[in-house]
Amino acid sequence: MKAHTKETQATMTPAKALNFLQEGNQRFQNNLKANRNLLEQVNDTSEGQFPFATILSCIDSRVSAELVFDQGLGDIFSIRIAGNFSNEDILGSMEFACKLAATKLIVVLGHTSCGAIKGACDHARLGNLTALINKIEPAVEAVKEPTDESLRNSKNLDFVDKVSEKNVLLTIENIRKNSSVLAEMEDKGEIKIVGAMYDISNGEVTFY
């Protein structure tokens, strides 16, 4: 499989980009990776890149977007931060990726059993991690069940995963709210912003 070119990127739509990622995840789950020559792709992309999607995911070592979506060099912009939330710098990166580099899709990718989410559920405090956790805690508060405080912590993995999902949805809301550039592009149908969850137990990505 060749690297994307300006011509192939120009034919991409938000729906097609989403389909490319869904097909890639199916290949990943079935251990049927596309046939790529990565060194050839290094050469093909040496004078330019034409990715079709931008993916905001967690730093978790098990959740590499290029791997779980079976993509090669030059295919996607990958933004990674613990807890996959957005801030000013990440929004700027997304605006570059979509407005200037012409990607057609933004995916906010959470995952099950997320350590950053567990930290937020436990209201962890540690150095600079405290500020990061504070940005995720609104998702904890937004999940109303269970009401029993003894069940609202990292030991309750069902609760953790519900908070992970809520965090993805709140991040999408924040992207639309805090980036007029991306909101306008989505309104015009130039891009699509979607959420997804990666299951660390089986490799499956579920899109919302």
Query: Which residue ranges are tagged as binding site for Zn(2+)?
Result: 58, 60, 111, 114
What 8-state DSSP symbol labels residue 98? I
**CA 50, CA 17: separation in Å to the nearest integer?**
13
171 and 163 Cβ atoms separated by less than 8 Å: no
**CA 174, CA 155: separation in Å to the nearest integer?**
28
Provide the sign of the torsion angle of the four alpha carbons 182, 185, 191, 195, taken in this order.
Answer: positive
What pLDDT tens digit does each residue of the chain (208 aa) get?
788 888 888 999 999 999 999 999 999 999 999 999 888 899 889 989 999 999 999 999 999 999 999 999 999 999 999 999 999 999 999 999 999 999 999 999 999 999 999 999 999 999 999 999 999 999 999 999 999 999 999 999 999 999 999 999 999 999 999 999 999 999 999 999 999 999 999 999 999 9
To the question of domain 6-207 being in CATH 3.30.460.80, the answer is no
**CA 69, CA 22: separation in Å to the nearest integer?**
7
Query: Which residue ranges are tagged as binding site?
Result: 58, 60, 111, 114
